[in-house]
Amino acid sequence: MSLSGSAAPAPTAAGPVASAAARAHLFTTGTVERYRHVLADGIDRVATRIAAADRPCTGVTPDDLAPRVAAVDLDRPLGDTGAALDELHDVYLRDAVYFHHPRYLAHLNCPVVIPALLGEAVLSAVNSSLDTWDQSAGGTLVERRLVDWTAARIGLGPTADGIFTSGGTQSNLQAMLLAREEAYARVAGSSTTRLSRPEVLSRLRVVTSTAGHFSVQKAAKLLGLAADAVITVATDADRRMRADDLAATIARCQRDGLVVMAVVATAGTTDFGSIDPLPRIAGICTAAGVWLHVDAAYGCGLLVSPTRRHLLDGIEQADSVTVDYHKSFFQPVSSSALIVRDRRVLRHATWHADYLNPARMVEQRIPNQVDKSIQTTRRFDALKLWLTLRIMGPDAIGALFDEVVDRAAGAWRMLTADPRFEVVTRSQLSTVVFRYRPTGVGRDLVDAANLHAREALAASGAALVAGTKVDGAHYLKFTLLNPETTLDDVACVLDLVADHAGRYVRTAIGGTMACPVA
């Protein structure tokens, strides 16, 4: 019996026999043919499922799926690849959410390009770890080359550097870590009295807009800043940070003896796709001596846009920038990076371990990426972007991103002309925030009707849209990242939303009077 009192799982084999059977599953020189056969079978299953997916999801609920997953006995292997893939179809593939479908219009999830899938297969099989040179060799240089390429696209200059991360939240966290340490050193070094570290940290503030990403608040909490360390400033009618409010906030902090350690501007807010006025914000930060971080997790696709690169003007003045290739470069999760203007600030993430990256390696000019990262073991995610650039090229990626931005503009025009709906603002990128608008006696049901429409649409599996709140009211949101999505798809989804919402309103008021829309 185990210490918990439950019986331990029965062994399926013993000793050398078990070891030999297990070794047959290792990817080695002797199992190359098995590797080819097994992966071909898996790829065929996925390709078949993708080809057959006639809707973005099945509408499965947690209550439906949980018993199937719970019934799997993980201590008793099936012993057969085909049987395992059959089971995987039942617990995952059949009910997966397929971002490639043109009526998936919900979150910042993109369909992925085939060169990146090739990269995923290669990096998983070789399994390089990007923390030290002796675990990755050329992988280190490929990642560094892509960081330099991205920094050049941003325009940060010859002293720039960076590191690949798991996503925008981690990139923003590391940016705030670097900004915190720079601010601490500046305040502690300039004080005429000896200040303790907690005293300095309690005075640090981060300023972002009300439309900024929640990861800024999360980073402040993880970094031990004060509970009220993040100050949000107002946005204008287009949901862009108000530069005048930013300047006033920084001045007020200075008067109150507080230290603004960073301003976080957003190049592509999650809800509205809005891009803050980067040149004006950069000027304010420079004048005040404040670190400027630009969260371009969404808007980074503009770096390769043939027509819209100018929308990021001012980003070259940032101290750090977040980019998410797995949002706007059509890469599989995860593929993100933090890029900094001055490579020296990355020292704040450095810790030397004798067994891994001793300090003497720096003197020997051995390039260990763990010296820059808050992670140790890291996948070679950069390979996906490398193969994408080498096979497709940046202009092709930018053209795809331009397509989805154009499609969002078309969806916005469609919605503004449709009396059934109201739209919040026109996005600079590829989102559209809107809601169904009942009139007459159903007017007070607007929030409930839109919530119901989203849930009913998801339950049907016919399409997926996102939801959000704007000024306390419930809205729906299209996030268009699939160039295959057409305006006919958008029109169909709008009709489905209106049908679900309208039916809800009519039922709620008893079905005895019409609910006109205008």
Mean pLDDT in residue range 53-69: 96
For residue 2, the model assigns a pLDDT of 43
Q: What is the DSSP letter of 235?
A: B
Give residue 190's pLDDT band: very low, low, confident or very high (50, 70, 90).
Answer: confident
Mean pLDDT in residue range 273-279: 98
Q: How many CA atoms lie within 13 A of 254 on its CB side?
A: 10
More confident residue, 194 or 252: 252
CA distance 205 to 228: 8
For residue 21, the model assigns a pLDDT of 85
For residue 241, the model assigns a pLDDT of 98
For residue 11, the model assigns a pLDDT of 53
7 pLDDT exceeds 70?
no
**For the purposes of burial, counting CB atoms within 10 Å of the CB of 435, is it exposed (0-12), middle (13-18) or buried (19 or more)?**
buried
Name the nearest CA neighbour of 161 among 179, 185, 177, 143: 143
Give residue 444's pLDDT band: very low, low, confident or very high (50, 70, 90).
Answer: very high
Name the nearest CA neighbour of 481 among 469, 500, 497, 466: 466
Q: Which CATH architecture has domain 128-387?
A: 3-Layer(aba) Sandwich (3.40)
Proportion of the chain above pLDDT 90, given as a percent = 91
Proportion of the chain above pLDDT 70, given as a percent = 95
For residue 514, the model assigns a pLDDT of 43
For residue 510, the model assigns a pLDDT of 82
Domain ranges within the chain, ordered by starting residue: 40-57+97-113+392-518, 128-387
Mean pLDDT in residue range 338-359: 95
Give residue 264's pLDDT band: very low, low, confident or very high (50, 70, 90).
Answer: very high
14 pLDDT exceeds 90?
no
516 pLDDT exceeds 50?
no
Give residue 515's pLDDT band: very low, low, confident or very high (50, 70, 90).
Answer: very low
For residue 13, the model assigns a pLDDT of 52
For residue 387, the model assigns a pLDDT of 98
For residue 195, the model assigns a pLDDT of 82
What distance, in Å, lies between the first and last C-alpha atoms of the chain?
70
Domains 40-57+97-113+392-518 and 128-387 share a fold: no
455 pLDDT exceeds 90?
yes
3 pLDDT exceeds 80?
no
Q: Domain 40-57+97-113+392-518 adopts which CATH fold?
A: Aspartate Aminotransferase, domain 1 (3.90.1150)
For residue 301, the model assigns a pLDDT of 98
For residue 4, the model assigns a pLDDT of 45
Give residue 110's pLDDT band: very low, low, confident or very high (50, 70, 90).
Answer: very high
Six-digit token string for 241: 């940070």
DSSP string for 1-37: --TTSSPPPPPSS-HHHHHHHHHTTS-SGGGHHHHHH
| Residue 150 near residue 338, CB atoms below 8 Å | no
5 pLDDT exceeds 50?
no
8 pLDDT exceeds 60?
no
Give residue 238's pLDDT band: very low, low, confident or very high (50, 70, 90).
Answer: very high
Q: Residue 94 to residues 50, 51, 56, 221: CA-CA distances in angstroms?
A: 10, 12, 11, 39
CA distance 105 to 329: 17
Average pLDDT, the chain: 94
Six-digit token string for 448: 């409930």
Q: How far does CA 442 lie from the centroid of its chain?
A: 37
65 pLDDT exceeds 90?
yes
Pairing of strands 259-266, 204-209: parallel
Range name among 291-300, 338-347, 481-490, 505-514 with the lowest pLDDT average: 505-514
DSSP string for 265-312: EEBS-TTT--B--HHHHHHHHHHHT-EEEEEETTGGGGGG-TTTGGGG
10 pLDDT exceeds 90?
no
16 pLDDT exceeds 90?
no
For residue 165, the model assigns a pLDDT of 98
